[in-house]
Amino acid sequence: MSAYHPLAEQEAIDIASRIEDVFPRGAKLSCREIGDGNLNLVFHITDAESGRSLIMKQALPYAKVVGESWPLTLDRARIECEALMVQHRLAPGLVPKVYRYDAELALTIMEDLSDHVIMRRGLIELGRYPRFADDISTFLANTLFYTSDLGMNQQEKKIRAGRFINPELCKITEDLIFDDPYTVSANNNYEAAIEDEAEALRTDAALHLEVALLREKFLTQGQALLHGDLHTGSIFVTPESTKVIDPEFAYYGPMGYDIGAVIANLLLNAAGQSYWSKDEASRSDYRAYLLDTAEQVWTGFEAKFRALWNESCVDRLARTAPGYQDDYMRRLLQDTIGYAGAKMVRRIVGLAHVADIDKIEDAAVREAAQRTSLRIGKALIKENRRIASFGQALDIAAAALQG
């Protein structure tokens, strides 16, 4: 392979034609670039005759976000690919299969999931995914437990953490989630109608203390290998299947950050349902579905994580110290709630938004949904260290959604 350059479509076809575990020899392949062009090229390669297909994802050496462009390491392609392979081993069937990785080209060739839909779109379209809560809680429990000091050799874990040092992508999170929304920053992005909310975020001392504590854990607590960006845009679903994609933010961090990301995005969609649901009855019904799903994600995660701990914990003291598992799960719940709140706030006033809210066409409804999201987000952040059950977080969300 030659040194790095962004692939043209014909080159992508030439490389794909050599993936013989997917395509029959001599297959006539076609190629379409389907990436959003901000961070990566994504080629969808298909063989019409056999019906087979694959995805080739190539990292670009820069990031484009709202017109800005900044350099970004190609090493993130290695991190993403290695994370996918770890996740594939620990949560089989819940991430795309990797066929090949080319380090020089920063290129991962993997399973095509175009029979799935991006979950964010699915939720906007009021889809229901009966496998989702069970699948994602399995993904979370397995990947977080078995990459932590509870579930893997503690010396190998240190070596692995070294392979997932990811400064550039972590900095994006540190800035956009744990700093900018709470100050005046060119990275912020919110509508003039909620200037009062943005101002309140900048001046809320109790909020700042909690965000500083969550930020500190994100910076220092290497509990487990995180996906690192587990919103509903990183999850492909069908009613029968769940696939987690795009772990380029993977690093060793606090477990609650991944769980909180899932919870936050379910709640953001719930806030957006003031628009997407056609009437009050279907809105109430769909919101109940979302809150139930959030609860099942946590309770499923907790039950599976505790079961893994009881069966497979490698740490003698963690296995035997009375009360330690309960204490750990309580802190994990609190982290989850705090990070969920931080993820909600940044999606309203920070750089990157979500379609669940931004695509609401009616300005007044959109503004109300933004205020609701902020009310939930701020309350989850402020209450996180007092939360004793997931139900308390759901009560906060339900109250804000109703009024």
Contact set with a copy of itself (CB under 8 A): 149, 154-156, 158-159, 161-162, 165-168, 170-171, 174, 178-179, 182-183, 205, 208-209, 211-213, 215-216, 219-223, 315-318, 320-324, 327-328
Q: How far is the CB of 332 from a copy of itself (least distance, A)?
A: 12
Backbone angles phi, psi at 133, to 5 degrees: -60, -40
Which residue shows structure tokens 């550039």?
168
Among residues 59 and 342, whose Cβ is nearest to a copy of itself?
Answer: 342
DSSP string across 377-401: HHHHHHHGGG--SHHHHHHHHHHHH
Among residues 35 and 222, whose Cβ is nearest to a copy of itself?
Answer: 222
Q: How far is the CB of 106 from a copy of itself (least distance, A)?
A: 20
- Do the beta carbons of residue 56 and residue 109 sit within 8 Å? yes
- From the number of C-beta atoms within 10 Å of its C-beta (0-12, 13-18, 19+), residue 260 rates as buried
Among residues 170 and 368, whose Cβ is nearest to a copy of itself?
Answer: 170
Q: How far is the CB of 149 from a copy of itself (least distance, A)?
A: 5
Question: Which residue type, as a one-letter code, is found at position 54?
Answer: L
Among residues 46 and 188, whose Cβ is nearest to a copy of itself?
Answer: 188
- Do the beta carbons of residue 223 and residue 254 sit within 8 Å? yes
- Do the beta carbons of residue 357 and residue 272 sit within 8 Å? yes
Among residues 14 and 327, whose Cβ is nearest to a copy of itself?
Answer: 327
394 CB-near residues (< 8 Å, 6+ apart)? 291, 294, 295
Q: What angle do CA 312, 135, 230 make, to 5 degrees?
A: 95
Among residues 215 and 287, whose Cβ is nearest to a copy of itself?
Answer: 215
Q: How far is the CB of 342 from a copy of itself (least distance, A)?
A: 12
Q: How far is the CB of 309 from a copy of itself (least distance, A)?
A: 12
Among residues 266 and 380, whose Cβ is nearest to a copy of itself?
Answer: 380
Alpha-carbon dihedral sign for residues 210, 216, 222, 224? positive
Q: How far is the CB of 327 from a copy of itself (least distance, A)?
A: 7
Backbone angles phi, psi at 294, to 5 degrees: -55, -45
Q: How far is the CB of 103 from a copy of itself (least distance, A)?
A: 18
Q: What angle do CA 352, 353, 355 make, to 5 degrees?
A: 140
Q: How far is the CB of 155 from a copy of itself (least distance, A)?
A: 4
- Do the beta carbons of residue 14 and residue 102 sit within 8 Å? no
- What is the separation of C-alpha 359 from the centre of its chain, rounded to a whole number of angstroms? 20
Q: How far is the CB of 274 from a copy of itself (least distance, A)?
A: 32
Among residues 251 and 289, whose Cβ is nearest to a copy of itself?
Answer: 251
Among residues 221 and 238, whose Cβ is nearest to a copy of itself?
Answer: 221
Among residues 34 and 165, whose Cβ is nearest to a copy of itself?
Answer: 165
Rounded CA-CA distance 258/336 in Å is 8
Q: How far is the CB of 76 from a copy of itself (least distance, A)?
A: 14
Residue from 172, 182, 124 nearest 345 by CA: 182
- 263: tokens are 């919870």
Residue from 35, 3, 28, 34 nearest 14 by CA: 28
Rounded CA-CA distance 207/30 in Å is 52
